Amino acid sequence: MIRIAFSLLLTFFTAVMAAADTFTFEVVGIDCAMCGPPIEKALGAVDGVKRARVDAKAKTATVEVAAGFDREKLRVAVSNAGFQAVFPGETARGIEPLPAEVVARLDIRTYADGRRVEIPAILAPGKVTIVDFYGDWCGPCRVLEARLQHLMIGGKPNLAVRRVNIGKWDNDAAKQATALRAEALPYIRVYDARGKFVVAVTGGMWDEVLAAIEKAER
Protein backbone atom coordinates (compact mmCIF):
# COMPACT_ATOMS: atom_id res chain seq x y z
CA MET A 1 0.00 0.00 0.00
CA ILE A 2 2.84 2.35 0.91
CA ARG A 3 4.58 1.57 -2.38
CA ILE A 4 1.42 2.31 -4.33
CA ALA A 5 0.94 5.63 -2.52
CA PHE A 6 4.58 6.59 -3.10
CA SER A 7 4.28 5.65 -6.78
CA LEU A 8 1.16 7.78 -7.17
CA LEU A 9 2.84 10.71 -5.41
CA LEU A 10 5.90 10.41 -7.63
CA THR A 11 3.70 10.29 -10.72
CA PHE A 12 1.87 13.41 -9.54
CA PHE A 13 5.03 15.46 -8.98
CA THR A 14 6.48 14.27 -12.28
CA ALA A 15 3.34 15.46 -14.07
CA VAL A 16 3.53 18.82 -12.32
CA MET A 17 7.16 19.31 -13.29
CA ALA A 18 6.42 18.25 -16.87
CA ALA A 19 3.66 20.83 -17.05
CA ALA A 20 6.05 23.63 -16.14
CA ASP A 21 8.23 25.50 -18.62
CA THR A 22 11.35 27.48 -17.70
CA PHE A 23 12.09 30.37 -20.02
CA THR A 24 15.01 32.83 -20.01
CA PHE A 25 15.10 36.05 -22.03
CA GLU A 26 17.03 39.32 -22.29
CA VAL A 27 15.79 42.47 -20.55
CA VAL A 28 16.92 45.72 -22.16
CA GLY A 29 17.31 48.67 -19.80
CA ILE A 30 18.80 46.93 -16.77
CA ASP A 31 21.72 48.99 -15.50
CA CYS A 32 22.08 47.96 -11.86
CA ALA A 33 20.95 45.43 -9.25
CA MET A 34 18.12 47.76 -8.19
CA CYS A 35 16.38 47.09 -11.50
CA GLY A 36 15.77 43.45 -10.58
CA PRO A 37 13.04 43.69 -7.91
CA PRO A 38 10.52 45.77 -9.92
CA ILE A 39 10.90 43.44 -12.91
CA GLU A 40 10.47 40.37 -10.72
CA LYS A 41 7.41 41.95 -9.14
CA ALA A 42 5.88 42.74 -12.54
CA LEU A 43 6.54 39.23 -13.86
CA GLY A 44 5.34 37.58 -10.66
CA ALA A 45 2.01 39.38 -10.96
CA VAL A 46 1.30 37.80 -14.36
CA ASP A 47 -1.29 35.04 -14.18
CA GLY A 48 0.43 31.74 -14.95
CA VAL A 49 3.91 32.73 -13.79
CA LYS A 50 5.02 30.45 -10.96
CA ARG A 51 8.45 31.95 -10.32
CA ALA A 52 10.46 34.86 -11.69
CA ARG A 53 14.10 35.71 -11.17
CA VAL A 54 16.23 38.51 -12.66
CA ASP A 55 19.98 38.30 -13.15
CA ALA A 56 20.97 41.96 -13.25
CA LYS A 57 24.56 41.19 -14.21
CA ALA A 58 23.53 39.05 -17.18
CA LYS A 59 20.57 41.38 -17.91
CA THR A 60 18.19 38.44 -18.18
CA ALA A 61 14.99 37.22 -16.58
CA THR A 62 14.08 33.59 -15.98
CA VAL A 63 10.48 32.56 -15.38
CA GLU A 64 8.75 29.30 -14.65
CA VAL A 65 5.36 29.15 -16.31
CA ALA A 66 2.68 26.63 -17.06
CA ALA A 67 2.92 24.67 -20.30
CA GLY A 68 1.22 26.51 -23.16
CA PHE A 69 1.66 29.88 -21.46
CA ASP A 70 1.34 32.95 -23.73
CA ARG A 71 4.81 34.50 -23.57
CA GLU A 72 3.55 37.81 -24.91
CA LYS A 73 2.17 38.43 -21.43
CA LEU A 74 5.77 38.55 -20.22
CA ARG A 75 6.63 41.15 -22.86
CA VAL A 76 3.74 43.36 -21.79
CA ALA A 77 4.61 43.05 -18.09
CA VAL A 78 8.26 43.96 -18.65
CA SER A 79 7.28 46.85 -20.93
CA ASN A 80 4.92 48.25 -18.35
CA ALA A 81 7.72 48.07 -15.78
CA GLY A 82 9.78 50.40 -17.97
CA PHE A 83 12.03 47.83 -19.66
CA GLN A 84 12.04 45.82 -22.88
CA ALA A 85 11.85 42.02 -23.17
CA VAL A 86 13.76 40.42 -26.04
CA PHE A 87 13.05 36.73 -26.50
CA PRO A 88 15.59 34.23 -27.92
CA GLY A 89 16.01 34.65 -31.67
CA GLU A 90 14.58 38.17 -31.64
CA THR A 91 15.99 41.64 -31.97
CA ALA A 92 14.61 44.51 -29.90
CA ARG A 93 11.38 45.88 -31.36
CA GLY A 94 10.22 49.46 -31.02
CA ILE A 95 13.45 50.69 -29.45
CA GLU A 96 15.93 50.19 -32.28
CA PRO A 97 17.90 53.38 -33.15
CA LEU A 98 16.30 55.57 -35.78
CA PRO A 99 18.35 57.25 -38.53
CA ALA A 100 19.78 60.59 -37.41
CA GLU A 101 17.94 62.45 -40.16
CA VAL A 102 14.62 61.01 -38.93
CA VAL A 103 15.28 61.98 -35.31
CA ALA A 104 16.31 65.48 -36.45
CA ARG A 105 12.83 66.02 -37.87
CA LEU A 106 11.12 65.19 -34.58
CA ASP A 107 10.19 67.91 -32.10
CA ILE A 108 12.75 66.87 -29.50
CA ARG A 109 15.05 69.22 -27.61
CA THR A 110 17.67 68.21 -25.07
CA TYR A 111 18.89 70.40 -22.22
CA ALA A 112 22.10 68.64 -21.25
CA ASP A 113 23.89 71.39 -19.31
CA GLY A 114 22.37 70.48 -15.95
CA ARG A 115 20.70 73.83 -15.46
CA ARG A 116 17.20 74.36 -14.16
CA VAL A 117 14.71 74.87 -16.98
CA GLU A 118 11.75 77.23 -17.08
CA ILE A 119 9.14 74.68 -18.04
CA PRO A 120 6.48 77.08 -19.39
CA ALA A 121 9.10 78.57 -21.72
CA ILE A 122 10.17 75.24 -23.25
CA LEU A 123 6.71 73.78 -23.93
CA ALA A 124 5.71 73.42 -27.58
CA PRO A 125 2.68 75.63 -28.33
CA GLY A 126 -0.27 73.63 -29.63
CA LYS A 127 1.32 70.26 -28.87
CA VAL A 128 1.25 67.74 -26.06
CA THR A 129 4.69 68.14 -24.47
CA ILE A 130 6.58 65.60 -22.41
CA VAL A 131 9.24 67.03 -20.12
CA ASP A 132 11.57 64.09 -19.54
CA PHE A 133 14.04 64.28 -16.65
CA TYR A 134 16.74 61.70 -17.44
CA GLY A 135 20.29 60.57 -16.73
CA ASP A 136 22.81 59.28 -19.27
CA TRP A 137 23.55 56.38 -16.91
CA CYS A 138 19.88 55.33 -16.66
CA GLY A 139 18.98 52.26 -18.74
CA PRO A 140 15.19 52.69 -18.50
CA CYS A 141 15.67 56.33 -19.58
CA ARG A 142 17.24 55.14 -22.84
CA VAL A 143 14.39 52.68 -23.39
CA LEU A 144 11.82 55.43 -22.85
CA GLU A 145 13.68 57.82 -25.16
CA ALA A 146 13.63 55.25 -27.97
CA ARG A 147 9.98 54.36 -27.41
CA LEU A 148 8.93 58.00 -27.56
CA GLN A 149 10.83 58.49 -30.82
CA HIS A 150 9.11 55.49 -32.38
CA LEU A 151 5.76 56.70 -31.08
CA MET A 152 6.29 60.11 -32.68
CA ILE A 153 7.01 58.66 -36.12
CA GLY A 154 4.32 56.01 -35.79
CA GLY A 155 1.25 58.15 -35.31
CA LYS A 156 1.88 60.92 -32.77
CA PRO A 157 3.29 63.80 -34.84
CA ASN A 158 1.62 66.34 -32.55
CA LEU A 159 3.88 65.33 -29.67
CA ALA A 160 6.95 67.19 -28.40
CA VAL A 161 9.65 65.98 -26.02
CA ARG A 162 11.90 68.15 -23.88
CA ARG A 163 14.70 66.14 -22.23
CA VAL A 164 16.42 67.54 -19.13
CA ASN A 165 19.66 65.93 -17.94
CA ILE A 166 19.90 65.62 -14.15
CA GLY A 167 23.47 64.27 -14.22
CA LYS A 168 23.97 62.00 -11.21
CA TRP A 169 21.32 63.76 -9.14
CA ASP A 170 23.96 66.42 -8.52
CA ASN A 171 23.01 69.50 -10.53
CA ASP A 172 20.37 72.23 -10.58
CA ALA A 173 18.15 70.21 -12.91
CA ALA A 174 18.23 67.37 -10.38
CA LYS A 175 17.20 69.77 -7.62
CA GLN A 176 14.33 70.91 -9.81
CA ALA A 177 13.25 67.31 -10.46
CA THR A 178 13.37 66.57 -6.74
CA ALA A 179 11.27 69.65 -6.00
CA LEU A 180 8.76 68.30 -8.51
CA ARG A 181 8.62 65.05 -6.49
CA ALA A 182 10.72 62.91 -8.78
CA GLU A 183 11.69 59.86 -6.72
CA ALA A 184 13.27 57.80 -9.49
CA LEU A 185 14.10 57.89 -13.19
CA PRO A 186 12.73 58.11 -15.78
CA TYR A 187 10.48 60.90 -14.53
CA ILE A 188 8.22 62.68 -17.01
CA ARG A 189 5.70 65.47 -16.74
CA VAL A 190 3.02 65.65 -19.42
CA TYR A 191 1.43 68.94 -20.52
CA ASP A 192 -1.50 69.43 -22.85
CA ALA A 193 -1.54 71.59 -25.98
CA ARG A 194 -2.52 74.65 -23.90
CA GLY A 195 0.48 74.21 -21.61
CA LYS A 196 -1.52 72.88 -18.66
CA PHE A 197 0.13 70.21 -16.52
CA VAL A 198 -1.75 66.91 -16.79
CA VAL A 199 0.11 64.16 -14.96
CA ALA A 200 3.56 62.86 -13.99
CA VAL A 201 4.84 59.32 -14.52
CA THR A 202 7.75 57.80 -12.64
CA GLY A 203 9.70 54.77 -13.82
CA GLY A 204 8.91 54.75 -17.52
CA MET A 205 5.93 52.39 -17.14
CA TRP A 206 4.85 52.32 -20.75
CA ASP A 207 1.15 51.72 -20.17
CA GLU A 208 1.09 54.71 -17.82
CA VAL A 209 3.03 56.86 -20.30
CA LEU A 210 0.55 56.08 -23.09
CA ALA A 211 -2.39 56.72 -20.76
CA ALA A 212 -0.88 60.08 -19.76
CA ILE A 213 -0.47 61.13 -23.40
CA GLU A 214 -4.03 60.07 -24.18
CA LYS A 215 -5.33 62.06 -21.23
CA ALA A 216 -3.41 65.15 -22.38
CA GLU A 217 -4.92 64.84 -25.86
CA ARG A 218 -8.51 65.06 -24.63
Mean per-residue pLDDT, 129-151: 97
Same domain, 105 and 199: yes
Residue 39 has pLDDT above 70, yes or no: yes
Domain finish residue from 58, 86, 114: 86
**What is the pLDDT at residue 11?**
47
pLDDT attached to residue 171: 98
111 burial type by CB count under 10 A (0-12 exposed, 13-18 middle, 19+ buried): middle
CATH number for position 70: 3.30.70.100
On whether both 111 and 212 belong to a single domain, the answer is: yes
Inform me whether the pLDDT recorded for 17 exceeds 70: no
Q: Supply the pLDDT for residue 2.
A: 55
Residues 174 and 142 in one domain: yes
Predicted pLDDT of residue 155: 85
Q: Which pTM value belongs to this model? A: 0.87
- Do 46 and 127 lie in one domain? The reply is no
Residue numbers of the domain that contains 29: 2-86
In a domain, 95, yes or no: no
Picking from 212, 121, 116, the residue whose alpha carbon sits closest to that of residue 164 is 116
108 and 164 share a domain? yes
Answer yes or no: is 92 within a domain. Answer: no
Q: Residue 7 — very low, low, confident or very high, per pLDDT cuts 50/70/90?
A: low
Give yes or no: residues 134 and 174 share one domain. Answer: yes
Confidence at residue 157, expressed as pLDDT on a 0 to 100 scale: 87
pLDDT of 12 over the 80 cut = no
Specify whether 78 is located in the same domain as 115: no
